[in-house]
Structure 1
Amino acid sequence: MQVHIVHAHPEPKSFNAELTNRARVVFTDNGHGVNVSDLYAKSFDPIERGHHYLQRIDDGVFSPLAEQRHAYATHTVPHDVLEELLELERSDLLVLQFPLWWHAPPAILKGWFDRVFLNGGIYTSRKRYDAGHFRGRRALVSVTSGAPEAAFGPGARGGDPEVMLWPVQYSLHYLGFSVLRPQWTFGVQGHGYSYDDESLARHRLENGLKAWEDRLLAIHSEPCLRFPGWQDWDGQGRLSGEMKN
């Protein structure tokens, strides 16, 4: 199995970095290929803009979708985007590792979505959802939060984890990925946990890493989340049948 990990945290000593490093070791030690794309370390530009495209279809007005289609068709995709696409194309599993900031991923990861998943190439009007470009591949979101687990849930003060991750996971489904349940690590502050004394904090941190490792060892046998596909919608795109219930 080939794994592509997209890491989105600016601090190399962070707990997110520990999770990424642990994933790299687990997969490598078990004979899998691993590539890590550290977005901050490589100074990935998350802002989609005209100067990324050297052969513009229209120099007067920047239309992101049109320029993406043109770049894909003419093999002039920006180098940093092409680098990411080549890794995705050869990967069986995509892992997104990031902290929850303002109830969402860091801006650099949202920008990665904006720039890497090119209109007209990676998706079209019919090449999406269960007919998407990355069908047959799986995706896993691993996210940390500073608040403790008890603060999360429907109506809780920390918010509903399922709602906050819906845009990321649904976008992955939109692109054809089979999406695994997310891996949440709660109560992380900086390098450790802030809600306990130091010894208990370290114990919980190690337990979180061990749980992550154990899950990765059995990831190949996990079922995926159920999202609607073309067969679940009527002609207007509304849910029909058992998914509606």
Structure 2
Amino acid sequence: MNVLIVYAHPERRSLNGALNDFAVARLRAEGHHVQVSDLYAMNWKAPLDANDVRERNGDAPFHASLDSKHAFENGLQSRDIEIEQEKLRWADALILQFPMWWFSMPAIMKGWVERVYAYGFGYGVGEHSGTHWGDRYGEGMMAGKRAMIVVTTGGWESHYSARGINGPIDDILFPIQHGVLFYPGFDVLPPFVVYQTNMMDDSRLDATFDALGQRLDRLFDDAPIAFRKQNHGDYAIPHLTLRDELAAGQSGFAAHID
């Protein structure tokens, strides 16, 4: 199978660098084909702006979604965007690997999402009608592919527990897992989270490698998170709210998991 790893850490000699090297070696040892988009090494341009459109009328106001749509439909996207889209088309699975900075992914990875997920590629696809509100949240260009987050954080696991000061890790990652990954159609696997990165010794690193290796071995076998699909009857269209009889008494992120 084909696996794309999008990796965002500025130091290859870091824990993230070691995890990335391990993941590539493990996946290849299992017979998978692997590509890595090392965003810092690529000097990836993070901002989405008018420079992402070739042959653009510089006098016209820049409109992020409409310019993105025009560029995608007419083969006028910046070449670096096209290359990453080609990698996503090639991949059977996507791994986003990053350190958690300020409760999210590093800005350079967010910029990868904003630029590569062009209108007509990552969003804005499918019909909009009284029964179908676009191909998204379980449908879309990435349907049939798998995705997983590998994330490191300095906080303790208890800090990210249900009553932890930082909030539950599943809630913190929900915008990425449900929004960035499930939205364009990926089947999203539970995340692999490494806590207390400042307390990593050789013994714990070996245990971390072992746990990550087991997850990578099951990349195409583990059950994905059971996010509710938008167009399969759970949501009232066009309001896109859960039907009253579903997840009764629940609200927030957890209500959107079946």
Letter of the 1:96 counterpart: L
Q: 2:151 aligns with which of 125, 139, 143?
A: 143
Q: Secondary structure at the match of 2:213?
A: helix
After TM superposition, give the deviation of residue 151 of structure 1 in Å. Answer: 2.0
Q: Is the 8 A contact 1:6 1:94 kept in 2?
A: yes
* CA–CA distance in structure 2, aligned partners of residues 166 and 142 of structure 1: 14
* CA–CA distance in structure 1, aligned partners of residues 166 and 205 of structure 2: 20
Task: Find the counterpart in structure 2 of residue 197 from structure 1.
Answer: none
* CA–CA distance in structure 1, aligned partners of residues 75 and 52 of structure 2: 13
Q: Is the 8 A contact 1:54 1:76 kept in 2?
A: yes
Q: How does 1:150-169 map to 2 (within 5 A)?
A: 150-169=158-177
Q: 1:234 aligns with which of 232, 236, 244?
A: 236
Q: Which moved more, 1:156-165 or 1:123-132?
A: 123-132
Letter of the 2:2 counterpart: Q
Q: Which moved more, 1:234-243 or 1:84-93?
A: 234-243
After TM superposition, give the deviation of residue 177 of structure 1 in Å. Answer: 0.4
Q: Percent identity?
A: 33
Q: How does 1:13-162 map to 2 (within 5 A)?
A: 13-56=13-56, 59-124=59-124, 126-162=134-170
After TM superposition, give the deviation of residue 21 of structure 1 in Å. Answer: 0.9
| Shift >6 Å, 4+ stretches | none
After TM superposition, give the deviation of residue 150 of structure 1 in Å. Answer: 2.3
Q: How does 1:200-215 map to 2 (within 5 A)?
A: 201-215=201-215
Q: Which moved more, 1:201-210 or 1:235-244?
A: 235-244
Task: Find the counterpart in structure 2 of residue 217 from structure 1.
Answer: 217
Q: How does 1:164-183 map to 2 (within 5 A)?
A: 164-171=172-179, 172-183=181-192
Q: 1:242 to 1:145 in 2, by over 3 A?
A: farther
Using the size of structure 1 for normalisation, the TM-score is 0.91
After TM superposition, give the deviation of residue 122 of structure 1 in Å. Answer: 2.9
1:244 and 2:247 matched: yes
Q: Is the 8 A contact 2:51 2:78 kept in 1?
A: no
Letter of the 1:148 counterpart: W
Task: Find the counterpart in structure 1 of residue 128 from structure 2.
Answer: none
Letter of the 2:36 counterpart: V
Q: Is the 8 A contact 1:153 1:161 kept in 2?
A: yes
Using the size of structure 2 for normalisation, the TM-score is 0.87
Q: 1:83 to 1:203 in 2, by over 3 A?
A: same
**Aligned Cα root-mean-square deviation (Å):** 1.5
Question: What whole-Å deviation, never above 9, does each CA across 1:142-199 have from its counterpart, x for those lacking one?
Answer: 100011212221231233211111111112111000100000000113xxx26xxxxx
Q: Secondary structure at the match of 1:96?
A: strand
After TM superposition, give the deviation of residue 100 of structure 1 in Å. Answer: 0.6
* CA–CA distance in structure 1, aligned partners of residues 213 and 167 of structure 2: 27
